[in-house]
Every structure is written in C-alpha cells, then in structure tokens.
Amino acid sequence: MNFWPLPALLTWAAAWAVYALGSKSLPWWLAFVLAGALGCLASLGGRTWWRRVMIAGGFPLSFVALSASVLPGWAWLLPLGLLLLVYPLNAWRDAPVFPTPLHALDGLAETIALPPRAAVLDAGCGMGDGLKALRQAFPQARLHGLEWSWPLRWLCALRCPWARVRRADIWLADWSGYQLVYLFQRPESMGRAAVKAATEMQPGSWLVSLDFALPGVGPSFELPGVGRHRVWVYAMPLGGPDEGLQAPGPHRP
C-alpha cells in the first residue's frame, strides 16, 4: 500500500462507520466483530507486519480506550478472537501470510515442461498471490489452492475466481493428483514437506518451494527468483537415480 498512513486512517474510519451503523440494528458486540473483521481484512494489504498490525489494531484499540470503563471483562478477548479467525494458530505455526511476489516464478515454465491441463496446487494459498504467480508462469494449468484460514480462503477465492480454492489442511490433503505442488511455508515445515512429497507425489511431478529448500535433498535446479527470493525446484521421485540427494546445482530435466 502506498500513501502510508492513509490506508490505516481510512480503515479505522471505515471500521468506525461500520460499527456506528451496525450497532443501530445489531448487538454491539456483533457490530464490533464486523468492524474488526473489516480492519483485519484491510490489514492483509499492508506491506509490513507493523503496518498490518496498525491497520488491524487501530479500531479495536481506540474502541477499548474509549469504552474501557463500560466494557465487560470478556470484551478484551474480542480483538484476539478476530485475529484468530483470520489466522488460526496452526497456520501461524506453519507460515505467516507472506505473499509470493507476482513475478517470483517467472522462468519456471522454461525449465519445467507441464502438460497443458496439468493440475497445480498452491499448498497454503493465503490470499492467492502464489496462485497468481503460478497462473502467470503456467496459464494453461488447472490451478488449485488449499488454505487453512476460512477468511483467507474466501479472500483467495474472490481474488482468483479461475482457481479451485478449498479450505483444508495441506498436511492431510492428498498431493498425489498434482503435477506440481508449490509451497511458500517456513524452514521448519520443509522436512515434513519432503516426506509427504516423497511418499505421495508421482514420478515426473514437481515440488517447487519459494525461499526454503528441502533439508538433505539437493534440488533439481534453482531459479534466482525476484529480489531476495530463490525458487527451489525438485523433480519426483525425490532421491531418484538422476535427481535429489546430490549437491545443489543447475540441472535441466
């Protein structure tokens, strides 16, 4: 978002307007939840975590400050509840919402040959930025997204109407039907991803990870990506005769 802090000020004003209008016909706490949800959704567009916290936190903080004397004790839990709604704890543990830059996967299609209607999964699709980057790289592919947080899943489906977006746990979902699985998670999740890919993904399919390499497995090749980002690409089967378990380095299939 540009013109900082205008987005924060506009969001706070909009949240207060939603609260003022909503509390005329709804219970005050429901109007508060709606206004807070607006702030949380708007915060997803913030460039940095500090900005997101400020955009989302402005309304509940000012609300609490203004009504501290009249609020029941449990009302202090509402802002936390809102945050958990957008971002359930297990999704936070696996990876916070950091979007894939639009051009991060440029060049991938020159190195991976996918069949025209290949099924491609963004595992943990967040707001849909990874799906947009995948679409840019593979316009012919059938794109799927799985996301644990309900609000993010809805937002993603809105932003990516051409993709099939579902709410699911990526670790419980079956990856065997996808020709390419894309991940932008956390370093700590990559061991689990390696085991899942090795046991479920079909020979000839691909695992692509932004920024975080699989531990103990050499990539088939890596792309520079944009900015500080790197793209790690693994051909299945992992550790097959020609792939994996080798020193990292460029390799074309």
Ligand X SMILES: C[S@@+](CC[C@H](N)C(=O)[O-])C[C@H]1O[C@@H](n2cnc3c(N)ncnc32)[C@H](O)[C@@H]1O
Q: Which stretch binds ligand X (CB under 6 A): 2-10, 32-40, 55-63, 89-97?
A: 89-97
Contacts for 223 with CB less than 8 Å, ≥ 6 apart: 105, 107, 108, 111, 230, 231, 233
- Backbone torsions φ then ψ of 104, nearest 5 degrees: -60, -30
CA distance 61 to 54: 10
Among the listed residues 86, 120, 152, 231, the single contact to ligand X using CB under 6 A: 152
Residues 101-130 vs ligand X: string with x where CB under 6 A?
Answer: ---------------------x-xxx--xx
Decide: 137 and 106 in contact? Cβ < 8 Å: yes
Residues 189-228 vs ligand X: string with x where CB under 6 A?
Answer: ----------------------------------------
Whichever of 28 and 171 has its CB closer to ligand X, that residue is 171
CA distance 207 to 237: 10
Q: Which stretch binds ligand X (CB under 6 A): 51-59, 92-100, 226-234, 243-251?
A: 92-100
Residue 236 three-state SS: coil
The residues that touch ligand X, with contacts defined as CB under 6 A, are 90-91, 94-95, 97-100, 122, 124-126, 129-130, 146-149, 152, 169-171, 184-185
